[in-house]
C-alpha cells in the first residue's frame, strides 16, 4: 500500500462507480479504464479499496482527506495486530 497512490486516486476525483468498474476490470484480469498506480493487480486493488473506504468515510463523516486517511491507516494497523 502506497499512500501517494491512494492520494492520487482521491485527487483525481474518481467516483465510486468509476472505482467499482476499475476493481471489476482488475478482478477480471483486464486493464482498468482509469489510471491506478501499483506494481501489480493486487497492489492496484489495495489502492482502490483504500480510496473507496476513504471517500465513503469523508462523505459520511465530513472529515477531510488527511483525517480520513489517518482513520483508514489506524483501521489497517488494528486489523494487523
Q: How many domains does the chain have?
A: 1
pLDDT of residue 81: 85
| pLDDT of 49 | 97
- What torsion, rounded to 10 degrees, do the Cα atoms 29, 25, 22, 2 define? -10
Pick from 6, 15, 11, 18: nearest CA to 72:
6
Percent of the chain beyond pLDDT 90?
A: 99
Q: Which domain holds residue 59?
A: 3-80
8 Å CB contact between 36 and 47:
yes
- Residue 70's pLDDT is 96
Mean pLDDT of the chain, nearest integer:
96
pLDDT at 47 over 90: yes
Contact 29, 22 (CB under 8 A): no
Closest CA to 51 of 79, 17, 26: 17
**Predicted confidence band at 44 (pLDDT cuts at 50, 70, 90)?**
very high
What is the rounded distance in angstroms from the CA atom of residue 61 to the CA atom of residue 18? 22
Amino acid at each position: 500500500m502506497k499512500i501517494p497512490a491512494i492520494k492520487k486516486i482521491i485527487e483525481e476525483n474518481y467516483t465510486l462507480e468509476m472505482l467499482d468498474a476499475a476493481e471489476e476490470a482488475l478482478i477480471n484480469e483486464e486493464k482498468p479504464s482509469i489510471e491506478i498506480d501499483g506494481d501489480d493487480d493486487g497492489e492496484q486493488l489495495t489502492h482502490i479499496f483504500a480510496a473507496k473506504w476513504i471517500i465513503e468515510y469523508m462523505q459520511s463523516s465530513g472529515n477531510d482527506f488527511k483525517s480520513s486517511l489517518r482513520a483508514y491507516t489506524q483501521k489497517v494497523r488494528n486489523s494487523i495486530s
